[in-house]
Amino acid sequence: MSRGTVVAKRYAKALFQLAQEQGLVAEVENKLSLIVSTIESDATIRAFLSAPNVTLAAKVAALKSAFDDKASSFVLNTVSLLIERGREGELGSVLEAYLQVAGNMLGRADAHVTSSKPLSEDEKKKLADKFGALLGKTVRVTNAVNPELLGGLTVRIGDTLYDGSLKGKLDRLDKALRNAAI
């Protein structure tokens, strides 16, 4: 496990404990997700936060003024602490770790489904029900489209990948045929 992952998990666990004490687990998830997506989607903001010639105080002040009305104080304090310690690049990992910690504690898992075409809400619900029964958890499904899959889908839940794609099946068949020819 990399050092960054360990650090992200520590921050995520601390943030989750605060959120749980306040009864704001879902709200913290939403607000942290908003901050992370805003920062990751804007190269100017990322450059500003990682610029060595900008003082930490200016970075934190800009962050707090931008998100003060949109996030709770302990979410802002956690993000500020990451920036002050030069770990602004870990924000995405902290969010991911928070989702995992919250999911484990609340009996929830996130399934990241990649398919060759967009899934309908009914298909997402069927996948959530099927994997929910398999895992014994409530499953939330997010869908990404990758036309290279040709057909089928891949499902990533935590560190486990379920590959039901046509491309994956063809790759496994190719590997089996190559091994049989040897």
Geometric angle at alpha carbon 74, from 70 and 79, rounded to 5°: 80
The DSSP-derived string for 119-182 is: PPHHHHHHHHHHHHHHHTSEEEEEEEE-GGG-SSEEEEETTEEEE--HHHHHHHHHHHHHHHH-
**Residues 94, 150 share a domain:** no
For residue 114, give the H/E element and its range: strand 108-115
Q: With contact defined as beta carbons under 8 Å apart, do 35 and 45 qualify?
A: no
pLDDT in tens, 48-92: 888 888 888 888 888 888 887 777 788 888 888 888 888 888 888
Check residue 60 and give its pLDDT: 86
The token duo for 72 is 């709770």
Q: With contact defined as beta carbons under 8 Å apart, do 172 and 161 qualify?
A: no
**Residues 90, 12 share a domain:** yes
Looking at 86, 103, 120, the residue that finishes a domain is: 103
Distance CA 132, CA 111 (A): 10
The CATH number of the domain holding residue 26 is 1.10.520.20
Check residue 182 and give its pLDDT: 65
Count other C-beta atoms under 10 Å from residue 180's C-beta: 7
Question: What's the DSSP call for residue 70?
Answer: T
Check residue 159 and give its pLDDT: 80
Q: Could you list the residue range(s) of the whole structural domain that residue 113 is in? A: 108-181
Check residue 103 and give its pLDDT: 84
Check residue 1 and give its pLDDT: 46
Looking at 78, 103, 128, the residue that finishes a domain is: 103
Number of domains forming the structure of the chain = 2
**Residues 89, 57 share a domain:** yes
**Residues 69, 131 share a domain:** no
**Residues 142, 62 share a domain:** no
**Residues 113, 89 share a domain:** no
* Segments of the chain scoring below 50 in pLDDT: 1
Looking at 77, 103, 129, the residue that finishes a domain is: 103
